[in-house]
Amino acid sequence: MALAHGGVAHRADLRSAGVTRADVRTEIEAGRWMRRGRHTVQIGTGDLSPEATLWQAVWESGSGAILDGVSALLVCGLTGFTPRSVDVAMPDRNRRHRLHGVRLHRRRRLGPVARTGIPRASPEHAALRAAQWAVSDRQALLILCLVVQQRIVHPDRLWASRTELTPTRRRDLLLSALQDICAGARALSELDFAALLRERGLPEPSRQVVRELSNGRVYLDVRWDDLGLVVEIDGGHHAMAVMPVDDALRQNDVVLTGETVLRIPILGLRLQPGRFMDQVERGLHMMRQRAGRRMAG
């Protein structure tokens, strides 16, 4: 029973299994078990496991409580993000109980709930709420990128759930980001690039374009299909180990198919966005002229 919950058990489950209150009290007084709240008993001692902490948060917060936000996404497999607290949502009419380390959200409607394992919000709803509850706009966008990048939520399901966004100051930003993410953007740098394109009134490109090259299938970050201009936005990992070699081979393959490739390191996009975007604008102008000459010829 406890193994299925990361080392903890609910008192009601213990009673159903024939473990009486007296039995529990005896084990706790003997120092073999630990009381972790009104309902939660740790079968053993020491620190709670991450999974046990999530079960404790749900059991102790109140009737109808579920994991939500980033906490629900962690159960779905989210990596690369460490929250400061456990996000729990519960019906606003139910009695709540404060718990250290738990951020409680009272909701009129919980929406779809996954009941297999720890009760939690559906991934697409949890992702949108996590973005709204994030401590900063950048963190909000990072969460949306991660859930799609790690295939926790399909972009179509995320876009279909956008009506769940509540009216907050961040809503317009998230809607704009969702458009870019669902169109193919998979990183914060790609969202930044999309915003810079709009600021200059430049045409929308295709994103994450699939190409078959000599070394197999590759994904191009950004491509203007009618002009043959490609922009690759290089994150920090592109400077590590053999990545520069792989990038050079990839770029050469793309150029040899007749494309023009511009590379923008993420640091450059942050430090000198104007100069890099000038190059993109010049590249688009040059490719339009080239296409015009071909048509005239």
Spans of the chain below 70 pLDDT: 236-243, 297
Q: What is the pLDDT of residue 238?
A: 44
DSSP, collapsed to helix, strand or coil, labels residue 186 as: coil
Q: What is the pLDDT of residue 243?
A: 62
pTM recorded for the entire structure: 0.80
Read off the pLDDT of residues 71-91 as tens digits, 9 standing for 90 and up: 999 999 999 999 999 999 999
Q: What is the pLDDT of residue 240?
A: 44
Q: What is the pLDDT of residue 246?
A: 80
User: DSSP readout, 205-239?
Assistant: -EEEEEEEETTEEEEEEEEETTTTEEEEEE-GGGG
Is the CATH code 3.30.70 the one for domain 191-296?
Answer: no
Q: How many CB atoms lie within 10 A of CB 159?
A: 16
Where in the chain is CATH 3.40.960?
191-296
Residue matched to tokens 């150029």: 255
Read off the pLDDT of residues 220-234 as tens digits, 9 standing for 90 and up: 999 999 999 999 998
Q: What is the pLDDT of residue 2?
A: 87
Q: What is the pLDDT of residue 239?
A: 44
* Structure tokens that stand for 271 in this block: 């430090």
